[in-house]
Chain A
Amino acid sequence: MKQNIENTQNNKEISRKDALKKIGKYSKYTSLTALGTYMILSPQKAQAASLAAPEAPGSGF
């Protein structure tokens, strides 16, 4: 299988299109193409906050 949605904070801009997969996409039979279209949804691997940390004065990491 190709790349799944790895929707983390850093690549939040994953579109619906990226999650769509096709089985036998070159099939000339539209009924098979329809059956072979599916979507993979990956929940986050761990709990995450949506904001990272503010810059502490003088930290600069």
Chain B
Amino acid sequence: MTKIDKNNTFLFKKIEDKTVVWLANSNQYITLEDKTAEILVDLIEEKSINTIAKNLAEELSIPLEEATHFVSVIEKELFLPNLIEKKNTESNFHNLEKLKTFQYSKKYLINDFIFLVDYESEEELYFVHPKFAHLEIENNAKTDFHYQVFTQNKFTFLIVDGSLIGSWHRNEIHFFQGKFSMQLVQDIHQKEEGKWLGVFHASAVSDGKSAMLFLGDSGNGKSTSLALLQANGFTCLADDFVPVDAEKQEVYAFPSAISIKKNSLPTLLPFYPELETSAEYHFERLNKVVRYLPPNNDDYRNHLPCKALIFVKYKAGSELKINKISNLTAFEQLVPDSWISPKKENAKIFLNWFSDLPCYELTYSNNTKMINTVKQLFNDEL
């Protein structure tokens, strides 16, 4: 355990009637009342508990003893624990026993890059390939990036150009998939991980000038909306895995296919008759059956500024409702479901970017009305 510089372990950002504090140590965000954040600042500035408590007692007209107790608890819960650098004892690296043989090798063309991915068996193939099958090309002499995926003792490994990226237990295969996708993002857009602000679980749609992110819990129609919007003149930038860069805070394209659940098929078949015969994948543990719809994006180099966040809620039989929501409410929903860069400079950019972003909640049941509303939002007509 080593002590770290306290001035580098906190960031403060006023959002609406609260102060959001970022903790470097744990890469967590806490939303505090402004006064409580001021007390934390006082502690950082090494003011004594007595001085801080005296001011608080006077301000709130409460006994000094109560105020002292309160400040002490803030010191104990919010200040001191964040001064100690936590050692990361978790490691996802495991010794490799032997060189593997690969049953499948696939090549994918993304932008001008050719990715060769070797899969040890059908299982590893299923972890990745269905989402990227639309990018597959016939074997070609050129390879820009070489990925290898194999499993040993229930851990699935990812190797890129001979370097071990990591390994993940089968129970955490979504983190393997996340890392695989992150690796692709870095290679496709030629930006290393530290240059990304975050990756959001959303659908990203664009009108060619800007992008909007659709967020919401599973079952609220993010992907279905995205598929409908791309059938109505919009471009799909990304489904499920939406990278935003730190430099310009733009939404970047990600080339995976849109996952379409079985109960969305009747809605989408009129627009995408090809879904009738596309392969079906069973996520038994999640009780989901999906088919994959390729995005209509013809240039995965795309990146556009984010115009708004929309929290979508599909509610059968409801009238369409669109409300602006507070950024703080949106923040509380977005953060736990996102990867946000743990770098201090990126956390600062994230807070500034997010605090100015218009956020809406859209409740709908009628898809045509939903599409019209999104058009109006893009055209500033609401």
Contacts and interface: CB of A to CB of B under 8 A. Distances in A.
Interface of A: 1, 4-5, 7, 9, 12, 14, 16, 19, 21, 23-24, 27, 29, 31-32, 34-59, 61
Interface stretch (B3-11, B23-31, B229-237, B366-374): B23-31
Contacts of B126: 53-56, 59
Interface string B38-73: 000000000000000000000010100011011001
B33 A38 contact: yes
B241 A4 contact: no
A52 B174 contact: yes
Interface in B75-130: 77-78, 81, 122-123, 125-127, 130
Interface in B202-220: 217-218
B62 A49 contact: no
Contacts of B285: 52, 55
Given A43-B339, A48-B339, A54-B282, A36 B62 contact: no
Contacts of A14: 336
A1 B81 CA distance: 9
B304 to A, nearest CB: 21
Contacts of B182: 47
B174 A31 contact: no
A40 B30 CA distance: 4
A35 B36 contact: yes
Name the residue among A31, A38, A43 with the largest chain B CB count within 10 angstroms: A43
Contacts, number: 158
Interface in B161-210: 170, 173-175, 177-179, 181-182, 198-199, 201
Contacts of B337: 7, 12, 44
A43 B336 contact: yes
Nearest to A57: B122
Contact of A23 (B73, B127, B284, B338): B73
B319 interface: no
Contact of A49 (B170, B178, B332): B178
A27 B57 CA distance: 13
Nearest to A16: B332
A27 to B, nearest CB: 6
B288 interface: yes
18 contacts: A4-B28, A12-B217, A23-B74, A24-B66, A24-B70, A29-B66, A32-B66, A32-B67, A35-B35, A36-B73, A40-B28, A40-B29, A48-B178, A49-B177, A52-B177, A52-B283, A55-B283, A61-B123
A7 B335 CA distance: 9
A42 B175 CA distance: 16
Given A35-B35, A39-B332, A50 B240 contact: yes
A16 to B, nearest CB: 6
Most A C-beta atoms less than 10 A away, residue of B123, B154, B240, B332: B123
Most buried by B among A16, A24, A50, A57: A50
A59 B286 CA distance: 16
A43 B174 contact: no
A7 B334 CA distance: 11
B174 A9 contact: yes
